[in-house]
Amino acid sequence: MKKNVAIIGYGGQGAWHANQIIKSDVVALSGVYDIKPERIELARSRGIFTYPSAEELLSDKNVDIVVITTPNDSHKELSIKALNAGKNVICEKPVMLNTSDLAEVIKVSNQTGKLFTAHQNRRYDVDFLAIKQLIQEGKLGDVVSVESRVHGSRGIPSDWRGKKEYGGGMLYDWGVHLIDQITQLLPNEELKKVFCTAQHTTNFEVDDGFKLTLIYKSGITAFVEVGTLNYIAMPRFYLQCKRGSAKINDWKQNAEVAYCKYWNEKEVLPVQTAAGITKTMAPRDEITLDTYNLDIPVSDVHDFYRNFVLAIDGKEKQYVTHEQSMFVLKIIEKAFESIEKCQAVDFD
């Protein structure tokens, strides 16, 4: 039987969840609540049941799961209320604003015996899954570095995302997705140092972009960049391994892969540059290098709800664990510390 879901916050992301839940094979939509009358009206016009208050939503005995899709600063209070009301909770990212708030919420989850998870839906992005596949296959050899970027050119949105009191800023907004992806790509690597710089090109209250370097004990580096003032976007992903490289230009494009068949070349033809020739930077030929496109992986965002339902029934481990959410928030805390000190900081 399907589990019933109610949504608190029927904005952009609340409506996204509602649309998915209506199509789901494992969950059904009981209704939504929003503090804005116009959003309530919109939900009703779409045939969705609306609750008169968050309290009435939480006291609906038929509701098994509450999805929290309000601005970031309200996640903690609403999550604790929902858990104490006996509901399992899917909370939007960033799941909390810091690790101590998350620790409090995990404590309530353990006390009530109700599950709590972060909605890390970008683990289902096909560009990320392609890079994950390449690393897991191992054909390209040991990872040297991973670069992950998202670039826009319209500045930070003018809504709550631009305001500190609501938990705005790009580290909390896109950063939390991209950092989570990196930790999924390099699950066994121990983090040593964190270095981050923030941009304030269109907003001075919160970061409207950042550049984050993660330095692992093994020497691997990961670079995460979010920009909102980039009129030319850099590739979404760039993977550098000892025997190959891969690049994904945009959200849904194939990964371009280059695999080095033979390291040694008999003869390297120098390449002409503006001010002279170079052998070091001369491109390889097809005798030593295989180039191909990786097929776009298959992905289904409904797997997130499927997993959560099975986790509630004790049949699967929840896909986004508390440890993972803690780790990502700790990296964000270290990134803020690094921005403040203008230097690399130890992770431990």
Identify whether the C-beta of residue 144 lies closer than 8 Å to the C-beta of residue 205: no
Judged by CB under 6 A, which stretch of 68-76, 139-147, 233-241, 268-276 contacts ligand NAD? Answer: 68-76
Interface with ligand NAD includes 76 (CB under 6 A)?
A: no
With CB under 6 A as the contact rule, the residue among 13, 181, 199, 324 that binds ligand NAD is 13
d(CA 75, CA 80): 9
Torsions phi, psi for 205 (to 5 deg):
-85, -40
Nearest residue (CB) to ligand NAD, 92 versus 207: 92
Q: Which helix (H) or strand (E) holds 55?
A: helix 54-58
- Are the CB atoms for 203 and 94 separated by under 8 Å? no
> For ligand NAD, which is the closer residue by CB, 41 or 159?
159
What is the torsion angle, in degrees rounded to the nearest 10, for the CA atoms of residue 261, residue 264, residue 270 and residue 271?
30
Nearer to ligand NAD, 93 or 114 (CB): 93
Q: How many residues make contact with ligand NAD (CB under 6 A)?
A: 25
The yes or no reply on residue 11 touching ligand NAD (CB under 6 A) is yes
Q: How far apart (Å, rounded) are the C-alpha atoms in residues 289 and 257?
A: 10
Return the DSSP state at 297. Answer: P
Q: Is 341 in the site for ligand NAD (CB under 6 A)?
A: no
Residue in 159, 29, 167 with CA at minimum distance from that of residue 92: 167
Neighbours of 289 (CB within 10 A): 16
Min dist CB 303 to ligand NAD, Å, is 15
Which of the residues 34 through 53 are near ligand NAD (CB under 6 A)? 34-36, 39
CB of 275 to ligand NAD, least distance (A): 46
Alpha-carbon gap, residue 337 to 175, rounded angstroms? 15
Residue 35: CB minimum distance to ligand NAD, A: 4
Of 29-37, 236-244, 273-281, 292-300, which part binds ligand NAD (CB under 6 A)? 29-37
Rule CB under 6 A: say whether 121 interacts with ligand NAD. yes
Site string for ligand NAD, 161-180 (x = CB under 6 A): ------------x-------
Rounded to whole angstroms, what are the CA distances from 250 to 120, 135, 235? 20, 19, 6
Q: Which part of the chain contacts ligand NAD (CB under 6 A), choosing from 11-19, 43-51, 58-66, 136-144?
A: 11-19
Q: What's the min distance (Å) between Cβ of 211 and ligand NAD?
A: 21
Q: Which listed range, 66-74, 79-87, 97-105, 247-255, lies at the site for ligand NAD (CB under 6 A)?
A: 66-74
The encoded tokens of residue 206 equal 């919160």
The nearer residue to ligand NAD, 41 or 346, going by C-beta atoms, is: 41
Q: Decide: is 127 part of the binding site for ligand NAD (CB under 6 A).
A: no
For 161-320, list the strands marked E by DSSP. Answer: 191-199, 209-216, 221-227, 237-241, 244-248, 255-260, 271-273, 276-278, 289-294
- Which range of residues in 12-20, 43-51, 231-239, 336-344 is near ligand NAD by CB under 6 A? 12-20
- Joined together, the tokens standing for residue 14 give 């609340």
Among 3, 14, 27, 331, binds ligand NAD (CB under 6 A): 14
Sheet of strand 27-33, all strands in order from the earlier edge strand to the far edge: 27-33, 3-8, 65-68, 88-91, 116-118
The pair of structure tokens assigned to 197 is 């710089």
Closer residue to ligand NAD, CB minimum distance, 39 or 149: 39
334 near ligand NAD, rule: CB under 6 A: no
Interface with ligand NAD (CB under 6 A): 8-14, 33-36, 39, 54, 69-72, 74, 92-93, 119, 121, 159-160, 173
